[in-house]
Structure 1
C-alpha cells in the first residue's frame, strides 16, 4: 500500500519549506552518488553513529541533524520523498513555514535519539529522513485523521495486470483506492512496531525504532499543543477569537445576545441590546465591531418597518466601512440596503445593490470568513429577488470561500442546503453530487451530524 496523494482542502500557503527539504535531500543524494570519493566515508562522517555520539558528545551532536539528509539508495530516497511530498504540505500549511521547519528538524532529532537509545554501542551509521517524516505523519494523524489518502496497491497480481496492459499499449494505470488517513497511518505505526520488535531479535537495515520515535514525538507534540494552547483549530474564526476576545467582550457579548434575540423573534429587546452595544463602541477604537453593530441594528429596524431609520443606520455603517477599508462590511451594508429596498418594492434598486455587494465581496480574498459569509448573504438576497439559479451559484462560491477560510463545517452546511434545494426542484443528480461532496468534507473533519444525515440521504431508497 503506497500513498501517492491526499486531500488539500483550502490550502493557504505554498509549501516552500517542504519543497526545499525535498530538494535538499535530492541534492545531497546526488552529491553522494556523483562526486568522486568514498561514499561510505561521507556517510560515516555525517551519519548518526550511536557509539560516537555517546562517546564524543557535543563534537558529534551535529550528526543528529545531518543524518536526515543522507540516503542509502534510490529506493530509500524515493520512498522518503514520496511520503514527504504527500503528507508534508498539509502540515506546513497548518504550522506556517518556519514552525514547520523547526518541527521537522525537531522530530528528526527525537527519532535519532530514540535510535541511539536502543543501539547505544553500535558503530553502524543511521541515515535517512524517515525519522523526521514520521514526525510529520504523527502530526497528520492528529490534524487530518479522516482525510482521504490515495494509495496504490502493490501486489504481484496487480503489477502483472499493469505490465500486461503496458504490453498491449492500453495506457495502463496502477489500481488506486481512497483510504482514510487514520487507517494508512495506523498501518504504518503497526508495521514499524512489528519491525522494531523483529529488530531486537535480528538486526535490520530499517531503523523502525527511529520511525516510532519520530512518529510518537510528532503526534504527542501536536496533541499537547493543540489541547493545552488551542493551536490549529479547524477554522480561522476560532483562532482569531483567542487573543482579541477579551478586548471586545462587552460589545461582542451584546451583539451575540442581540443575534439570539433576533432568532427567537424578540425584536424590541434586540434593538435595545444593539443600541447599548453602539454606546459601548464609543468607548473603544473597535471600528469594525461598530460597523457590524450599525448593520445589525439596521436589520432589526427594517424588520420593525422603520425603513427610513434603517436606511440611515446602513448609510452610517457603510461610510465607516468604506473609510476604513472594510470591503466585506461595505458589501454587507449593500445587502442590507438591498433588503430594505425590496421592502419598499424597489426591485431595480435591490438588484443594483446586490451587484455592488458582490463586486465589493469579490475584491476581498477568500482568506477571511466574512467574505464567504457575505457571498452567502448575497445568495439569500438573490433568492428574494426570485433568481434562485443565481442563488445556487453564489452558494457554491461561498462553499469555496469557507473552505479557503478553513471553516469546513460551514462549507458542509452550505452543501447540505444546496443538496436540499436541488432535490426540491427535481435536480436529483445535482443534489447527489452536492451531498457527496459534503459527505467527503464532513468525513475529513469528523463532522458527525452531517456525516449521518448525508449518508442517510445518499442511501435512502429512491435516492438517485
Structure 2
C-alpha cells in the first residue's frame, strides 16, 4: 500500500521540491556506477553517510546534511522522491520557497540526530532523504489532516486505487515506523526507523508556529482539515480484475 497522489493542488510552482528531487537524482547518478564495488562504495559512504559513532565523537557533522542526498538503490530513491513530490509541494506553497528549504534541512538534521541518539556506537552507514521527507509528512498531517490521498493497494493479484484522508494514510505509516523502531536495532542496519519516526515528529513540531499563524484550530474549523482551496478531482477507473461469484 503506497500513495500515488493527493487531491491537494499547489497555488504556486514548487521550485524547491523540484530542485531537491533533481539534486537527489543527479547525485545518485553520479555514484551509482561504483555501487557494485564494495571498497569504493564503502569509502564513499564513510565520507558522506551518517555513521553514528563518528557523529557521537563530534566528527563528520557535515554528514548530517550530505547523507540526506544519498540513496542505497533505485527503489530507495524512487520511493523517497514519490513521497516528496506528493506531500512537499503543499508545504512549500504554505511556507514559501526559502522557509520550506530551511524546514526540510532542519527536519532532516533532526531525524539524523535522533537516529544517532538511538545507536551512538553504531558504525553502520545511514543514507537517504527519508528523515527529511518524514518531516514533510508530519507537517502535512498537521496542516491538511483530511486532504484526500489516493492509495494503490496491491494484494498478490488484486490491485485497486482507494481514496482515504491523509490522517489515515499518514497515521498508518507512522504506526509502522514506530513499531519498527521498537522491534529493530539500528546496529543491525536495514531501515532507520527511528530516523523516520523522529523526523515525522520534528516536522510536525516545526510546523506548529505556521499552524498557529494560520489560526490553529480556527484554521481547521475554516477548512475542516481539507486544503484551503478547491481540491483536485480525479476519475478513478474500476479494477479490471473480474470478480468470481460464490456458488
TM (normalized to structure 1)?
Answer: 0.45
Q: Any gaps of 5 or more consecutive residues in structure 2?
A: 229-247
Deviation at 1:54, TM superposition (A): 1.8
Does the 8 Å contact 1:33/1:39 carry over to 2?
no
2:46 maps to which residue? 44
1:54 maps to which residue? 56
How far apart in 1 are the matches of 2:214 and 2:225? 21
1:26 maps to which residue? 25
Residues 352-363 of structure 1 correspond to what in structure 2 (within 5 A)?
Answer: none
Q: Secondary structure at the match of 2:47?
A: helix
2:191 maps to which residue? 206
Specify whether residues 129 and 202 from structure 1 end up closer, same or farther in structure 2 by C-alpha distance, changes over 3 A only. closer
2:148 maps to which residue? 148
1:294 maps to which residue? none
Query: Which residue of the other structure, out of 211, 221, 231, is the alignment partner of 2:206?
Result: 221
1:126 maps to which residue? 126
Does the 8 Å contact 1:94/1:232 carry over to 2?
no
Q: Secondary structure at the match of 2:50?
A: coil
Deviation at 1:201, TM superposition (A): 9.4
Give 1 or 2: higher strand fraction.
2
How far apart in 1 are the matches of 2:145 and 2:24? 27
User: Deviation string for 1:60-98 (max 9, x for gaps)?
Assistant: 111010000000011111111110011100111011000
How far apart in 2 are the matches of 1:443 and 1:22? 28
Q: Secondary structure at the match of 2:107?
A: helix
Specify whether residues 18 and 232 from structure 1 end up closer, same or farther in structure 2 by C-alpha distance, changes over 3 A only. farther
Q: Secondary structure at the match of 2:71?
A: coil
Residues 83-98 of structure 1 correspond to what in structure 2 (within 5 A)?
Answer: 83-98=83-98
* Segments of 4+ moved more than 6 angstroms: 232-235
2:231 maps to which residue? none
Q: Secondary structure at the match of 2:150?
A: strand
2:110 maps to which residue? 110
How far apart in 2 are the matches of 1:83 and 1:197? 24
User: Deviation string for 1:32-58 (max 9, x for gaps)?
Assistant: 113697122111210001111122x2x
How far apart in 1 are the matches of 2:183 and 2:110? 21
How far apart in 2 are the matches of 1:23 and 1:234? 36
How far apart in 2 are the matches of 1:53 and 1:202? 15
Does the 8 Å contact 2:143/2:211 carry over to 1?
no
1:346 maps to which residue? none
Deviation at 1:226, TM superposition (A): 2.8
Deviation at 1:13, TM superposition (A): 1.3
Q: Any gaps of 5 or more consecutive residues in structure 1?
A: 159-173, 239-407, 410-440, 447-464
How far apart in 2 are the matches of 1:117 and 1:232? 34
2:72 maps to which residue? 72
Q: Which has the larger radius of gyration?
A: 1
2:14 maps to which residue? 15
Does the 8 Å contact 1:146/1:180 carry over to 2?
yes
Residues 54-453 of structure 1 correspond to what in structure 2 (within 5 A)?
Answer: 54-55=56-57, 57=58, 59-158=59-158, 175-200=160-185, 203-227=188-212, 230-231=213-214, 444=226
When the two chains are superposed, the root-mean-square deviation of aligned CA atoms in Å is 2.5
Give 1 or 2: higher helix fraction.
1
Does the 8 Å contact 2:65/2:105 carry over to 1?
yes
Deviation at 1:204, TM superposition (A): 4.5
How far apart in 2 are the matches of 1:35 and 1:203? 23
How far apart in 1 are the matches of 2:215 and 2:65? 27
Specify whether residues 68 and 202 from structure 1 end up closer, same or farther in structure 2 by C-alpha distance, changes over 3 A only. closer
User: Deviation string for 1:219-276 (max 9, x for gaps)?
Assistant: 112124533xx247799xx9xxxxxxxxxxxxxxxxxxxxxxxxxxxxxxxxxxxxxx
